[in-house]
Amino acid sequence: MQKIILGILLLFFCVVRASSQYYEDKDVSIEPRNITKRFETQTWKTAFILPERQVNLSLLAPVRYGLTNKIELQSFLGLWAYRVPNIYLKKNWFEGLLIISSKHGIVYPTQGLKIFRDDDRDHTLNRDAKIPQIVMFQNEAIASYVLNPTCNAEEPLWIASARLGLDISITSKREDSFNRMTFFSFYNRTASFYGDKVLYAGLQLDGGLFRKLYFNVGVDAYSIDFGYNGIETQGNLIFHYNQQLSFAAGIKYIMTRNPIEKENNFAPMLDICYRFGKQGKWQKGLFGR
């Protein structure tokens, strides 16, 4: 697993280096003219921070709010629907062509697990499972690099990102009835509830294909107590109806390994995002045009 994580980070820095050499002597100047501004390329998994007072509302991705130009708040509404309070803070530490940020979150899944236990058609949790009090902490370092630095506000940005994170949990006394959840990708995401340390690393590429059609592709590797446990890959197409409203459709392929079996699954994804508030300088162009 350590080799996979090191390979992901090495690939990210190779892409950054190759891009910087390509654009070193490139003339990116433009003459004054009427332009159609680029749409937002940077997604929630990148190191970019929303500008102050900008809000992004989404169904599957987290709701995002720019508290300041350096601090962003995030929360998954879908988890709140299952009584799982969650809040994340993302802080920008350095911004240029290379953007470095960190994200820190806290999740209280106890009530949600009780709901899941009582309505679990796949019997992932035992019916008589006694759910302990659980508080999960997530800490993540994120680096993003703009592959095509340009003053042209029409040209979509292409952004490569790398993430490295750790999930740990504090729990009250765990009963034997609280069995591990092995269904689908639950095993990787809930392993910290049982005292394990979950290390993960990921790569993502965001960019634009046509005037209103953008994309992102990514891969994440998970390690439970420093052993290999799973890889998730995903790809999405994003159609920007306008600067405020966009629609996303994609697919995720999950390969997991748990104490019972190896499991491979596809999961389709559909999402909608609505933005309002201030626009960022990367969306406007380098000179705010």
- What are 114-139's pLDDT values in tens digits? 888 887 666 578 788 899 999 999 99
How distant, in Å, are the alpha carbons of 47, 64, 88, 89, 125 from that of 106? 19, 15, 7, 9, 23
What confidence tens digit (pLDDT) does each residue in 161-204 have? 999 999 999 999 988 888 888 776 788 888 899 989 999 999 99
pLDDT at 259 over 60: yes
What confidence category does residue 107 fall into, taking pLDDT thresholds of 50, 70 and 90? very high
| pTM for the predicted model, two decimal places | 0.82
With beta carbons less than 8 A apart as the criterion, state whether 143 and 134 touch.
no
Q: Where are the alpha helices (DSSP H) in 119-230?
A: 186-190
Across residues 132-151, what is the average pLDDT?
A: 93
Count of CA atoms in the C-beta half-sphere (13 A) of 4? 19
pLDDT at 263: 79
Please tell me the predicted confidence (pLDDT) of residue 252: 93
Evaluate whether 10 touches 175 at the Cβ level (below 8 Å).
no
Which tens digit of pLDDT belongs to each residue from 62-93? 999 999 999 999 999 888 888 899 999 999 99
Which uninterrupted H or E stretch holds 17? Answer: helix 2-22
Range in 146-155, 185-194, 224-233 with the lowest mean pLDDT: 146-155
Residue 172: burial class (beta carbons within 10 Å; 0-12, 13-18, 19+): exposed
* Cα separation, 206 vs 154, whole angstroms: 16
Distance CA 258, CA 222 (A): 12
Query: To which H or E segment does residue 20 belong?
Result: helix 2-22
Contact partners, residue 199, CB within 8 Å, separation at least 6? 1, 5, 164, 165, 166, 222, 223, 224, 226
Tell me the pLDDT tens digit for each residue of 88-106.
999 999 998 899 999 999 9
User: What proportions of the chain, in percent to the nearest 5, are helix, strand and coil?
Assistant: 15, 45, 40
The pair of structure tokens assigned to 118 is 């009582």
φ, ψ (nearest 5 deg) of residue 174: -95, 130
Mean pLDDT, residues 210-214: 89
Termini Cα distance of the chain: 45
What span, in angstroms and rounded, lies between the C-alpha atoms of 282 and 5? Answer: 29
Look up the CATH number of domain 2-24+46-284: 2.40.160.40
Which residues lie across from 198 on neighbouring strands?
Answer: 167, 224
How would residue 34 be classed by pLDDT, with cut points 50, 70 and 90? Answer: very low
Residue type, 118: D
Spatial contact of 112 and 81, defined as CB atoms under 8 Å apart: no
Taking all residues of the chain, what is their mean pLDDT, rounded to a whole number?
Answer: 83
Instruction: Please calculate the CA angle 212-216-219 and round it to the nearest 5 degrees.
Output: 175
Q: Residue 166: what pLDDT? A: 96
Residue 164 · residue 20 · CB < 8 Å? no
